[in-house]
């Protein structure tokens, strides 16, 4: 399997379909809490986007934005279902973290839903530790937040 990860921006045409599929996937996972999330999952303010391609087909994405002067927030991580378990999410996260470091943010944070067990395990495996819910997720009991020193 030939996987290529590129750096791009929120205007990339291949991102649209991936984000639509991500939103459909999350709608099924979030259940009754789904209506809370879309307002926090826009691409407004995104500093960087990464997209994974397999044989020139876009199969995964991730992004990040500034949270504060020292912290970047990972957003919109997604891999199409047939391509999960093949290391693509790892490639995406590694590229995002490298980019965040290059932009001199020493800390990365992210939020996921409590129902997203595979995502929680993935982030823990990658050195993220539970942290207090931050920003718009402070009073969101269905959210779990992570932090990692880069």
Strands (DSSP E) contained in the chain are 3-8, 46-54, 57-68, 71-79, 107-113, 129-131, 143-149
Cβ neighbors of 131 (< 8 A, separation 6 or more) are 109, 145, 146, 147
Q: Residue 55: give its domain's CATH number.
A: 3.40.630.30
Q: Tens digits of per-residue pLDDT, 87-97?
A: 999 999 999 99
Q: Give the residue-averaged pLDDT of 127-134.
A: 97
The count of structural domains within the chain is 1
| The length of the chain, given as a count of residues | 150
Give this prediction's pTM: 0.90
Do residues 96 and 62 lie in contact, with contact meaning Cβ atoms separated by under 8 Å? yes
Q: pLDDT tier at 40 (50, 70, 90 boundaries)? A: very low
For 65-76, how does the pLDDT look when each residue is reduced to its tens digit (9 = 90+)? 999 999 999 999
Q: How far is CA 71 from the centre of its chain?
A: 15
Q: How far apart are the first and last CA of the chain?
A: 29
Question: What domain range includes position 43?
Answer: 3-149
Alpha helices in the chain (DSSP H): 13-30, 88-102, 117-125
């Amino acid at each position: 399997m030939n996987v290529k990860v590129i750096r791009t921006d929120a205007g990339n045409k291949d991102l649209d379909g991936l984000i639509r599929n991500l939103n459909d996937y999350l709608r099924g996972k979030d259940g009754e809490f789904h209506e809370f999330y879309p307002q926090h999952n826009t691409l407004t303010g995104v500093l960087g986007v990464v997209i994974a391609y397999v044989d020139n087909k876009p199969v995964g994405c991730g992004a990040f934005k500034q949270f504060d002067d020292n912290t970047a927030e990972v957003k919109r991580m997604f891999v199409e279902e047939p391509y999960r378990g093949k290391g693509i999410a790892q490639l995406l996260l590694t590229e995002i973290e490298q980019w965040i470091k290059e932009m001199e943010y020493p800390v990365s944070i992210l939020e996921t839903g409590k129902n997203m067990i595979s995502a929680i395990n993935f982030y823990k495996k990658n050195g993220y530790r539970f942290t207090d819910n931050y920003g718009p997720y402070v009073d969101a009991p269905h959210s779990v937040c992570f932090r990692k020193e880069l």
